[in-house]
Amino acid sequence: MEKNCEKKINVTVWNEYRHERFEAAVGAIYPNGIHGLIKSFLDEDPALNVRLAALDDDQNGLPPEVLDATDVLIWWGHLAHHEVPDDLVERIRDRVYKGRMGLVVLHSGHHSKVFRSVVGTNGNLSWGRDQHEIVWNLLPAHPIAAGIPDHFDLFEELYCEPFYIPQPDELVFGSWFEDGFIFRSGLCYYRGAGKVFYFQPGHEYCRSFYNEYVQRIIKNGVKWAAPAEIGYTVPDSAPMVDYKLTDNF
């Protein structure tokens, strides 16, 4: 029998990990942290090798040796976007742009320095009370939508338009909320040689990360965002071309 030698995708799940430690109601929902729960269901997939990182860890959980070994970075932040060092944001953006790492941003990460820097936006949107949400599958043939029905239900914090983001390259999911608002809730960007997926569910007071479809979407998003096998080194500058391709003919 041949051994499966396919390379695993190295995933780092980054979380502020503040709400869960300092707010009893959130800690009761996510006793091991939001990132701990995400790791638990990602660990079910043998193609993924998952580690955790948090804001209050040494070097914010992402020292160079960890970041450089990460194929896909999952990001959840809310209270402390301003505490993330600018030099770390630059290193993350650099890895994404060079096609060395994919980025999956969840819920309130829309206002993170990382999402705003990589995508190029202020990330502003409108929000409101927790309520019934229907997530609609708008692009069923997309890899991130694999195994997801035409719609599914959540109880979530209202995020709604206008969402001040660049036009997505691919809009995979859209949501309707019981107060009548809509939101572009699952969207993809190509930035440089890298890929970015933003997904709206994941309010700290809600149980969305326990939902089977949310879990499947995040798994799919990780595999979609994983670096492609690029057949050349993506340059870190704008090099001058001092040769002619026709010289090879």
| Interval 88-114 mean pLDDT | 98
Residues 140-191 have pLDDT tens digits of 999 999 999 999 999 999 999 999 999 999 999 999 999 999 999 999 999 9
Contact assessment for residue 225 and residue 47, using Cβ atoms and an 8 Å cutoff: no
Structural tokens at position 49: 């090798």
| Interval 39-48 mean pLDDT | 98
Question: Which residue has 């990382």 as its token pair?
Answer: 114
Residues 96-106 have pLDDT tens digits of 999 999 999 99
pLDDT for 4 beyond 80: no
Instruction: Tell me the sheet residues that pair with 183.
Output: 175
Spatial CA neighbour of 48 closest among 72, 27, 26, 31: 72
Contact assessment for residue 106 and residue 138, using Cβ atoms and an 8 Å cutoff: no
Overall fold of domain 9-123+185-230: Rossmann fold (3.40.50)
**pLDDT band at 237; cut points 50, 70, 90:** confident
Main-chain phi, psi angles of 67, to 5 degrees:
-60, -40
pLDDT at 249: 67
Threshold 0.85, pTM exceeds: yes
pLDDT for 2 beyond 60: no
Residues 183-223 have pLDDT tens digits of 999 999 999 999 999 999 999 999 999 999 999 999 999 99
Going from N- to C-terminal start, the domains of the chain cover 9-123+185-230
DSSP string, 180-216: S-EEEEEEEEEETTEEEEEE----TTS-GGGSHHHHH
